[in-house]
Amino acid sequence: MARLPALFVSHGAPNLVLHESPARTFLAEFTGRLERPKAIIMVSAHFEAERPTVVSDPHPEMIYDFRGFEPELYEMNYPAPGSRDLAERVAGAIGDSGLPVSVAPRRGYDHGVWVPLILMYPDADIPVVQVSVQHGASAADHYALGAALAGFRDEGVLIVGSGSFTHNLYEAMHNLRQGAVDAVRPEWVVAFVDWMARHIEAGDVADLLDYRARAPYAVENHPTDEHLMPLYVALGAGGEGARPEHIHGSSQFGVLQLDAYAFH
């Protein structure tokens, strides 16, 4: 089969799955452009650990890691199987690259996993192996993690980093309480998004890895940066000289940018 790209998707709020929006439509339709993967390696911003951690749970349950949303969200189920064999191989590849690695025998699907996948692959019949982001680790560390996973793309495995292109929840909640889903983006969001897009398109890995110092309004858009780290995993999994493709761009509440990229 053809080599699959590495993806970065913005998963949005949990109720993205309930309400029509450009981001929801994108997630529901994009995978029709891809060959069906044999398995999925999912790196979620909502799974943080001190070192890269691979979930080997063959039957992950659901994690409803949010409060105050519509009741029907707490009844949703995404029964895709895990894969102990693939998880062991993923852990081996990470370890062989020189990175520390742990294995978690039990862990369910957090909403960074099941929100996008319930739209992308609603039949839930493709095995999913989750890998954590690293608490407090750098963009370069996550780029190296992605590079360690890159070889699985040749086996028909889809690598997906699930986070958010911008993620200032304090500012988002202000607009959410006002119901301002279509609020105008402030300049500090526009400037950051434009800078990131230019450097991704140009393949400026060095600048991207140092985004926190070089990108305008980096801290305002990511007060904590765990939601951007899945982008660097996808970038690293794309491999040196990867061709970036901007596959989606939209925003919600003015400050949550829900862009997505494929790295070929």
Q: Which domains does the chain have, with CATH numbers?
A: 6-182+225-263 (3.40.830.10)
Cα gap 167→194, rounded to integer Å: 15
Are the C-beta atoms of residues 107 and 201 closer than 8 Å to each other? Answer: no
Other C-beta atoms closer than 10 Å to the C-beta of 168 total: 25
C-alpha of 97 from chain center: 22
* Cα distances (Å, whole numbers) of residue 255 to 25, 106, 170, 178, 196: 20, 35, 10, 14, 15
Kindly give, in sequence order, each residue whose CB lies less than 8 Å from that of residue 149, ignoring residues fewer than 6 positions away. Answer: 41, 90, 93, 94, 131, 159, 233, 236, 237
Predicted local confidence at residue 179, as pLDDT: 65
> Could you list the pLDDT tens digit for every one of the 264 residues in the chain?
779 999 999 999 899 999 999 999 999 999 999 999 999 999 999 999 999 999 999 999 999 999 888 999 999 999 999 999 999 999 999 999 999 999 999 999 999 999 999 999 999 999 999 999 999 999 999 999 999 999 999 999 999 999 999 999 877 667 666 666 777 899 999 999 999 999 999 999 999 999 999 999 999 999 999 999 999 999 999 999 999 999 999 998 889 999 999 999
Are the C-beta atoms of residues 48 and 132 closer than 8 Å to each other? Answer: yes
Kindly give, in sequence order, each residue whose CB lies less than 8 Å from that of residue 154, ignoring residues fewer than 6 positions away. Answer: 3
Burial 197-223 (b: 16+ CB within 10 A, else e): bebbeebebebbbebeeebbbbebbbe
Predicted local confidence at residue 230, as pLDDT: 98
Predicted local confidence at residue 85, as pLDDT: 98
The DSSP code sequence of 203-240 is T-HHHHHTHHHHSTTHHHH-SS-TTTHHHHHHHHHH-T
The dihedral of CA 196, 190, 160, 243: what is its sign?
A: negative
Predicted local confidence at residue 177, as pLDDT: 67
* Cα distances (Å, whole numbers) of residue 214 to 12, 51, 173, 191: 25, 26, 27, 12
Predicted local confidence at residue 64, as pLDDT: 97
Are the C-beta atoms of residues 24 and 246 closer than 8 Å to each other? Answer: no
* Cα distances (Å, whole numbers) of residue 171 to 93, 97, 165: 39, 39, 15
Are the C-beta atoms of residues 153 and 234 closer than 8 Å to each other? Answer: no
C-alpha of 249 from chain center: 15
